Structure 1
Amino acid sequence: MLKGFGSRLKALFGVKSFNEKFYEDLEDFLIEGDLGATLAMEISDELRKVAKSEKPATQQDLQQMMKRLLATKVEAYTPEIDKNSLTVFLILGVNGVGKTTSIAKMAKMYKDQGYDVMLAAGDTFRAAAIDQLEVHAQRLGCRIVKQKNGSDPGSVVYDAITSAQAKGEQLILVDTAGRMHNKENLLRELSKIDKVVKSRGVDEAHYKKFLVIDSTTGQNGISQADLFNQAVKLDALILSKYDSLAKGGALVQIGQKFGIPISFVGTGETYSDMHPFDKDEFLDTLVGL
């Protein structure tokens, strides 16, 4: 996890003197690590100021300063689920990021916590997506609501909520179409689902929207966060392939640009490999501590 970035940053911090060349190298390094030019310059300048006043004695002092600066850009978010009411999680993401697998891992995590979980096959554009979700539902012992390939996703969500309310289920995880939309289509489709959820009496406190991002994608993750956040205000990110996270800087940039926190990280292949995001651990690894 982040080893390449963290160990290289640690090596950079190991120089004998923190002169102008050091800060220029740091800036270049941060840009390479997907923090983007603006944020890289900002962090490099801030670190220069802090180091001037606090005078770090060791490499570790400087790493701790860097961690403090980055801590303001990244937030963790733990959604709360009310056992006495229905909560709907809309799971978004482009094809290939591990969205369906992430849904299955979340279902297992919440089932293990004692919640009644239902899956809703809202990606009706790919028959394979419906079949995949059904296999996961069978393996996990979750109920699934689906319709035939090509059906209206809003209709699937309507049926799922109506059915879950009747049976007293507590959480619906909704899969959504993952093809790379143009913005207008995405906006139209998601606002339709949005209206359906609200029309069934699910209020904001019980309705959250998560974007699954492949941790290895860097700049692509930033443009995906931008697109989906414009279409439907995102509550948090779910990071897939977190065990091979190479470009952690992109996550800092998403936090800085859009204020979107991180909820969960997928760390492996099994259903149990989904964990709450640990901000402290992420930052320690990012700065090489």
Structure 2
Amino acid sequence: MSFFDTLKEKLNGVRHRWSANITRLFGGTIDENFWLELEDVLIAGDVGLETTETFLDEMRAYHARRRCDGKELLRHFKGELMKRLNEVPCMGAPLQSGENGLSVILMVGVNGSGKTTTTGKLAWLYKKSGKKVIVAAADTFRAAAIEQLQVWGEKSGIRVIAQKQGGDSAAVVFDALSAARSSEADVLIVDTAGRLQSKHNLMEELGKIYRVIKREVGKEHVESIIVLDSVIGQNAFRQAEVFNEVAPLTGVVLAKYDNTAKGGIVLSIADKLGLPIRYIGLGEAPEDLKLFNAEEFVEALFGETAPEN
């Protein structure tokens, strides 16, 4: 299958649980009941109340000007969604190379978000693209996280820098930076502990890690990416706000999107967080972590079934 067909297949569950309901609405009469139902479906999909209102205001204004049918209005709906996703700067853009060609990706997020698994998948993707990759297992609070990355490393042929559980996570990062330089690696991916906002000392440790990386390679060569669980929807935004305070975020990986009924979270991230979605997780296999492309994503999510008027 082509990449687009694969993406469409992976999004089948989200279409069934959310976007197909939107598509069907455009096949009926565009009246006040249509707008009320569309509002309900958007909010149920975790688009968020404020974002839903501004989105619908634009849609209503377009329909008032054009007096178009549902088919044209659906095309405008998809176009407006793509526009809003693409308005976020650097959507899907690759990292610039830092000192000696090295770029660093700092992975943050709470336990259970899929952060460590995503770290392993991302390392696999970079290696597949021809990059030399090293991974730092800086989540020293969970032995399972260290072991998980070591398994990923063995399967993928990627070097993992680690210490025993309870070690100094900043020291792991410093060792990994040294190893990356000496081996002329292109990318260093750093997994960190799943910290909660109530764990003040852990957030301080994350800040220390970020400062070490920024000092060694320069801020412009560091991605600080938060892994958000699509299933929990709007509840993820508070997590992003807290992490952004100590390690300024540059992007999002939206994990477990294939399992969510809250498909509108993509629009909320662009509108409320102003952060680009770098990758989207659509399954368990390494190749199920996809580089996010707004046009392909929207067409795969809404383009399978044309509305009937």
Taking structure 2 as the reference length, the TM-score comes to 0.86
2:53 alignment partner in structure 1: 41
Per-residue deviation, 1:122: 0.6
Q: Is 239-248 or 122-131 further displaced after alignment?
A: 239-248
2:73 alignment partner in structure 1: 62
Aligned with residue 165 of structure 1, among 168, 171, 181: 181
1:205 alignment partner in structure 2: 220
Gaps of 5+ in 2: 1-10, 305-309
- Show the 5 A alignment for 1:50-129: 50-57=62-69, 59-75=70-86, 76-82=91-97, 84-129=100-145
Aligned partners of 2:97, 2:130: CA distance in 1, in Å? 12
Per-residue deviation, 1:102: 1.1
More helix by share: 2
Q: Is 151-160 or 19-28 further displaced after alignment?
A: 19-28
Aligned partners of 1:36, 1:241: CA distance in 2, in Å? 19
Deviations 1:11-66 (A, max 9, x none): 122222x2222222222221111111111111111111011112213x22111111
Query: Percent identity of the aligned residues?
Result: 39
Q: Conserved in 1, the CA contact under 8 Å of 2:95 and 2:103?
A: no
Query: Aligned in 2, Cα 1:283/1:30: closer, same or farther, shift over 3 Å?
Result: same
Q: Give the RMSD, CA atoms, in angstroms.
A: 2.0
Gaps of 5+ in 1: none
- Show the 5 A alignment for 1:244-263: 244-263=259-278
Aligned partners of 1:232, 1:106: CA distance in 2, in Å? 19
Per-residue deviation, 1:259: 0.8
Query: Aligned in 2, Cα 1:186/1:61: closer, same or farther, shift over 3 Å?
Result: farther
Question: How many correspondences in the alignment?
Answer: 286
The letter for the 2-side match of 1:229 is N
Aligned partners of 2:122, 2:142: CA distance in 1, in Å? 21
| Secondary structure at 2:225 match in 1 | strand
The letter for the 2-side match of 1:283 is V
2:23 alignment partner in structure 1: 10
Aligned partners of 2:302, 2:201: CA distance in 1, in Å? 40
Deviations 1:114-161 (A, max 9, x none): 211111011011111111111111111111111121122111111111
Matched, 1:271 2:286: yes
Per-residue deviation, 1:285: 4.5
Taking structure 1 as the reference length, the TM-score comes to 0.91
Q: Is 7-16 or 270-279 further displaced after alignment?
A: 270-279
Aligned partners of 2:260, 2:96: CA distance in 1, in Å? 29
